[in-house]
Amino acid sequence: MKGFIKQLLIICFSGVLLTSCATPEEQPDLGEDIDDRGSDCISIRTIRDYRPLDRSSLIIEGSGKRFYYVTLVGSSFGLSGSYQIGVESRDDWLCPYGGDSLILDSFERVGTSIRGISKLTPEQADELLYRHGKKERPEQQDQAPPVIEGAEIEAIGEEPIEQPDQAAPENNGAEVEELGQTG
Protein backbone atom coordinates (compact mmCIF):
# COMPACT_ATOMS: atom_id res chain seq x y z
CA MET A 1 0.00 0.00 0.00
CA LYS A 2 2.82 2.37 0.89
CA GLY A 3 4.55 1.62 -2.42
CA PHE A 4 1.35 2.32 -4.34
CA ILE A 5 0.94 5.76 -2.72
CA LYS A 6 4.57 6.55 -3.45
CA GLN A 7 4.15 5.62 -7.11
CA LEU A 8 0.97 7.67 -7.35
CA LEU A 9 2.73 10.72 -5.91
CA ILE A 10 5.63 10.29 -8.33
CA ILE A 11 3.25 10.10 -11.29
CA CYS A 12 1.35 13.22 -10.18
CA PHE A 13 4.56 15.13 -9.53
CA SER A 14 5.98 14.07 -12.91
CA GLY A 15 2.82 15.23 -14.67
CA VAL A 16 3.03 18.65 -13.04
CA LEU A 17 6.72 18.95 -13.98
CA LEU A 18 6.06 17.94 -17.58
CA THR A 19 3.32 20.52 -18.07
CA SER A 20 5.35 23.30 -16.47
CA CYS A 21 8.53 22.45 -18.39
CA ALA A 22 6.92 22.31 -21.83
CA THR A 23 8.72 24.49 -24.32
CA PRO A 24 6.66 27.52 -25.27
CA GLU A 25 5.54 27.86 -28.86
CA GLU A 26 7.20 30.35 -31.15
CA GLN A 27 5.27 33.56 -30.53
CA PRO A 28 4.46 35.66 -33.59
CA ASP A 29 5.83 39.19 -33.65
CA LEU A 30 3.11 41.37 -32.16
CA GLY A 31 4.80 44.65 -32.96
CA GLU A 32 4.98 47.56 -30.59
CA ASP A 33 1.24 48.14 -30.50
CA ILE A 34 0.33 45.07 -28.40
CA ASP A 35 2.10 44.24 -25.13
CA ASP A 36 2.23 40.53 -24.28
CA ARG A 37 3.38 41.22 -20.69
CA GLY A 38 0.86 43.87 -19.73
CA SER A 39 -0.25 44.42 -16.15
CA ASP A 40 -3.93 45.25 -16.69
CA CYS A 41 -6.64 43.55 -14.63
CA ILE A 42 -10.09 42.27 -15.61
CA SER A 43 -13.14 42.36 -13.37
CA ILE A 44 -14.17 38.72 -13.13
CA ARG A 45 -17.86 39.62 -13.17
CA THR A 46 -17.54 41.26 -16.59
CA ILE A 47 -15.96 38.30 -18.43
CA ARG A 48 -18.35 37.29 -21.22
CA ASP A 49 -16.38 35.15 -23.66
CA TYR A 50 -12.89 33.99 -24.57
CA ARG A 51 -11.09 32.81 -27.68
CA PRO A 52 -7.88 30.75 -27.55
CA LEU A 53 -5.18 31.94 -29.98
CA ASP A 54 -2.65 29.18 -29.34
CA ARG A 55 -1.49 27.02 -26.41
CA SER A 56 -0.25 29.99 -24.39
CA SER A 57 -2.48 32.96 -25.23
CA LEU A 58 -6.12 33.93 -25.55
CA ILE A 59 -8.41 36.91 -25.95
CA ILE A 60 -10.97 37.51 -23.22
CA GLU A 61 -14.01 39.64 -23.99
CA GLY A 62 -15.49 41.68 -21.18
CA SER A 63 -18.72 43.64 -21.02
CA GLY A 64 -19.04 46.67 -23.25
CA LYS A 65 -16.97 45.07 -26.04
CA ARG A 66 -13.76 45.35 -24.03
CA PHE A 67 -11.02 42.97 -25.14
CA TYR A 68 -7.98 41.71 -23.23
CA TYR A 69 -4.95 39.83 -24.52
CA VAL A 70 -3.94 37.22 -21.93
CA THR A 71 -0.66 35.32 -22.09
CA LEU A 72 0.06 32.31 -19.89
CA VAL A 73 3.33 31.44 -18.16
CA GLY A 74 3.53 27.99 -19.74
CA SER A 75 2.04 26.18 -22.65
CA SER A 76 -1.27 24.47 -21.89
CA PHE A 77 -2.45 21.69 -24.15
CA GLY A 78 -6.00 21.96 -22.80
CA LEU A 79 -6.51 25.60 -23.78
CA SER A 80 -7.54 25.10 -27.40
CA GLY A 81 -9.79 22.14 -26.60
CA SER A 82 -11.54 23.59 -23.55
CA TYR A 83 -15.10 24.78 -23.82
CA GLN A 84 -15.04 26.76 -20.59
CA ILE A 85 -12.50 28.35 -18.30
CA GLY A 86 -12.53 29.16 -14.63
CA VAL A 87 -10.73 31.80 -12.63
CA GLU A 88 -8.79 31.39 -9.41
CA SER A 89 -8.24 34.70 -7.62
CA ARG A 90 -8.11 36.18 -4.13
CA ASP A 91 -10.56 38.96 -5.02
CA ASP A 92 -12.96 39.99 -7.83
CA TRP A 93 -10.14 40.88 -10.24
CA LEU A 94 -8.11 38.68 -12.57
CA CYS A 95 -4.56 40.05 -12.65
CA PRO A 96 -1.19 38.74 -13.89
CA TYR A 97 0.24 39.05 -10.39
CA GLY A 98 -0.79 37.85 -6.93
CA GLY A 99 -1.11 34.18 -7.85
CA ASP A 100 -4.21 34.54 -10.06
CA SER A 101 -4.66 31.76 -12.60
CA LEU A 102 -7.02 30.30 -15.17
CA ILE A 103 -8.54 26.89 -14.60
CA LEU A 104 -9.09 25.08 -17.86
CA ASP A 105 -11.80 22.52 -18.36
CA SER A 106 -9.58 19.49 -18.49
CA PHE A 107 -9.08 16.22 -16.69
CA GLU A 108 -6.71 17.57 -14.05
CA ARG A 109 -8.32 20.99 -13.43
CA VAL A 110 -4.89 22.48 -12.77
CA GLY A 111 -4.59 26.27 -12.65
CA THR A 112 -2.41 27.95 -15.26
CA SER A 113 -0.54 31.06 -14.13
CA ILE A 114 -0.93 34.29 -16.07
CA ARG A 115 2.11 36.07 -17.54
CA GLY A 116 0.39 39.23 -18.75
CA ILE A 117 -2.95 40.92 -19.47
CA SER A 118 -3.20 43.82 -21.91
CA LYS A 119 -6.31 45.81 -22.77
CA LEU A 120 -7.00 45.88 -26.53
CA THR A 121 -9.02 47.97 -28.91
CA PRO A 122 -11.44 46.01 -31.16
CA GLU A 123 -9.04 46.61 -34.08
CA GLN A 124 -6.11 45.15 -32.11
CA ALA A 125 -8.22 42.13 -31.15
CA ASP A 126 -9.06 41.55 -34.83
CA GLU A 127 -5.37 41.92 -35.76
CA LEU A 128 -4.40 39.23 -33.24
CA LEU A 129 -7.09 36.93 -34.62
CA TYR A 130 -5.74 37.54 -38.15
CA ARG A 131 -2.14 36.88 -37.08
CA HIS A 132 -3.00 33.60 -35.37
CA GLY A 133 -5.19 32.40 -38.26
CA LYS A 134 -8.42 32.41 -36.23
CA LYS A 135 -10.12 34.93 -38.51
CA GLU A 136 -9.70 35.69 -42.21
CA ARG A 137 -8.93 39.18 -43.40
CA PRO A 138 -11.70 40.78 -45.46
CA GLU A 139 -10.99 40.71 -49.18
CA GLN A 140 -10.07 44.01 -50.69
CA GLN A 141 -12.15 45.18 -53.61
CA ASP A 142 -10.60 45.70 -57.02
CA GLN A 143 -10.01 49.34 -57.91
CA ALA A 144 -11.75 49.35 -61.32
CA PRO A 145 -12.43 46.81 -64.03
CA PRO A 146 -9.62 46.53 -66.56
CA VAL A 147 -9.96 48.59 -69.75
CA ILE A 148 -10.36 46.42 -72.84
CA GLU A 149 -8.99 47.91 -76.05
CA GLY A 150 -10.81 47.38 -79.34
CA ALA A 151 -14.29 46.59 -78.08
CA GLU A 152 -17.04 48.00 -80.31
CA ILE A 153 -20.66 48.58 -79.48
CA GLU A 154 -23.15 47.88 -82.24
CA ALA A 155 -26.88 48.42 -82.09
CA ILE A 156 -29.05 45.54 -83.32
CA GLY A 157 -30.62 46.16 -86.70
CA GLU A 158 -28.36 49.08 -87.63
CA GLU A 159 -25.32 49.18 -89.81
CA PRO A 160 -22.04 49.37 -87.92
CA ILE A 161 -20.36 52.74 -88.01
CA GLU A 162 -16.92 52.48 -89.52
CA GLN A 163 -14.24 54.55 -88.01
CA PRO A 164 -11.79 56.13 -90.46
CA ASP A 165 -8.61 55.04 -88.64
CA GLN A 166 -9.54 51.36 -88.40
CA ALA A 167 -9.81 48.95 -91.32
CA ALA A 168 -12.74 46.55 -91.56
CA PRO A 169 -11.90 43.04 -90.35
CA GLU A 170 -11.09 40.54 -93.07
CA ASN A 171 -13.08 37.39 -93.68
CA ASN A 172 -10.66 34.51 -93.40
CA GLY A 173 -12.71 31.92 -95.23
CA ALA A 174 -15.63 31.80 -92.84
CA GLU A 175 -19.05 31.86 -94.41
CA VAL A 176 -21.19 34.82 -93.60
CA GLU A 177 -24.92 34.51 -93.82
CA GLU A 178 -26.94 37.63 -94.21
CA LEU A 179 -30.12 37.85 -92.29
CA GLY A 180 -32.96 39.43 -94.12
CA GLN A 181 -36.15 40.94 -92.98
CA THR A 182 -39.43 39.33 -93.95
CA GLY A 183 -42.29 41.50 -94.29
pLDDT tens readout for residues 87-117: 889 999 999 988 899 887 655 566 788 999 9
User: How far apart, in whole angstroms, are the C-alpha atoms of residue 109 and residue 84?
Assistant: 11
Q: What is the average per-residue pLDDT within 139-147?
A: 65
Q: What is the pLDDT of residue 163?
A: 61
For the chain, where are the alpha helices, taking DSSP H only?
Answer: 2-20, 122-131
**Residue type present at position 93:** W
Q: What is the mean pLDDT of residues 113-128?
A: 92
* Phi–psi pair at 13, nearest 5 degrees: -65, -40
pTM of the full structure: 0.58
- pLDDT greater than 80 at residue 85: yes
The pLDDT, as a whole number, for residue 93 is 94
Per-residue pLDDT tens over the stretch 14-61: 655 555 554 444 444 555 567 778 889 999 999 999 999 998 999 999
Largest interatomic CA distance in the chain: 112
- Domain boundaries defined on the chain: 31-131
DSSP state string for 37-65: T-B--EEGGGEEEEEEEETTEEEEEETTT
Q: DSSP class of residue 114? A: E
